Amino acid sequence: MTIVKLSESGQKQGLATAVRVLETEAKALQELSAFLNDSFLQAVEMIFTAEGRVVVTGMGKSGHVGKKIAATLASTGTPAFFVHPAETSHGDMGMIVRGDIVLALSNSGEAKELNDLIEYTRRFAIPLIGITSRPDSTLATRADIALMLPPCPEACPNGLAPTTSTTLTMAMGDALAVTLLEKKGFTEKDFKVFHPGGKLGQQLMKVSEIMHKGEQLPVASENIPVSEAIDIITKKGFGCIGLTDKNGLLTGIITDGDIRRKLSADILTKTAKDIMTSGPKTASPDTLVAEAMAVMNDLKNAFRRITCLLVVDAAGKPVGLLHIHDCLRAGFA
């Protein structure tokens, strides 16, 4: 592939154009934030109390934006899907039922492909929310709630290509989704349910999901002989053992490295407590795996990085063990 190198003046002109586009759209977003009114809150309440789903629709560039808005709503706890307005006139209208809410997008508010759908919502009393920039348009006047976009110029020098208007529409959709998210009390745990795969699901994975527990745990009393501790380390296969006091609280850990460092002629006459490392690093079951890995890979202690992390409950009792290999198998590098 041949890369055309621009002249210095061409580079400056290109950057100036890009900056102008971004500044135009940034200014429009600021105007949008000041443009919001009670209609926005009414739309949020209408969606929040709806028994059905949010049916997002739009034609052309508004349709592409609508698909993103529907996906954002669905992934943040508000059931939603996109329907093509032209297809609704040929059978897809049956996808919209009582209890649903239609969210229609049209900058001009006059997309003719929306007409049949608008009539359908009026005939069957299906709530209609419109996002448009023209208060006198068909969409704005016939919708139950009209979310108005400020009259801002497109970033296109000809004022034709949907640029600023699509940015504003998408931002309005994000504002609806996040406001609803907070109103629903949507948590990280809920987010994980809707994002089990991919990078986002991985980022929200908790230690409790991949830790070893129950009979797999290498845990014993701090008063056992070192020989018994070595036997447990060997049988469990994690290269360490967690040690507890009489109340079952974690007090220390012995690793393969500890045994090598403290190897002596009389080591087998000692108790585990005599050679253990007190106050080991731990994690809670709700700790994110990414955070647990950061503890194990502590760059401040490059010579004492650990491959296992004991997991303790709120009282300090060991309930699990996380090994670095578990993290790697889960996709953490």
pLDDT per residue as tens digits for the range 183-199: 988 766 666 656 555 55
> Residue 70 in contact with residue 56, Cβ under 8 Å?
yes
| Token output for 16 | 């100036």
Q: What is the mean pLDDT of residues 144-155?
A: 95
Q: What is the mean pLDDT of residues 88-99?
A: 90
Question: Residue 130's beta-bridge partner residues?
Answer: 104, 146
Angle (CA) 25-172-157 rounded to 5° is: 25
> Looking at this protein, which amino acid is placed at residue 86?
A
- Give the SS3 label for residue 61: helix
Helices (H) and strands (E) in the chain, counts: 15, 12
Indicate the pLDDT class of residue 172, thresholds 50, 70 and 90: very high
> Higher model confidence: residue 157 or residue 243?
243
Which strands, in side-by-side order, build the sheet including 145-148?
80-82, 54-58, 101-105, 128-132, 145-148
CA distances from 48 to 4, 98, 155, 167, 196 (A): 52, 15, 34, 24, 24
- Comparing C-alpha atoms, which of 112, 172, 176, 158 is closest to residue 138? 112
> Higher model confidence: residue 102 or residue 192?
102
CA–CA gap between residue 269 and residue 333 (Å, rounded): 41
Instruction: Reply yes or no on whether the pLDDT at 301 is more than 80.
Output: no
User: Mean pLDDT over all residues of the chain?
Assistant: 89
Q: What is the mean pLDDT of residues 19-33?
A: 95
| Token output for 117 | 């759908």
Indicate the pLDDT class of residue 34, thresholds 50, 70 and 90: very high
Indicate the pLDDT class of residue 52, thresholds 50, 70 and 90: very high
Q: What is the pLDDT of residue 231?
A: 94
Residue given tokens 């309930």 in the structure block = 319
How do 219-221 and 240-244 pair as beta strands? Answer: parallel
Q: In the chain, pLDDT over 70 holds for what percent of residues? A: 90
Reported as type and span, the H/E element at residue 130 is: strand 128-132
Q: What is the pLDDT of residue 1?
A: 56
CA–CA gap between residue 177 and residue 234 (Å, rounded): 52
Q: What is the mean pLDDT of residues 261-282?
A: 90
Contacts of 103 (CB under 8 A, 6+ apart): 54, 55, 56, 57, 66, 69, 80, 129, 130, 131
Q: Contacts from 158-163 at CB under 8 Å and sequence distance 24+? A: 162/60, 162/61, 162/62, 162/107, 163/21, 163/24, 163/25
Q: What is the mean pLDDT of residues 219-248?
A: 94
Q: What is the pLDDT of residue 295?
A: 86
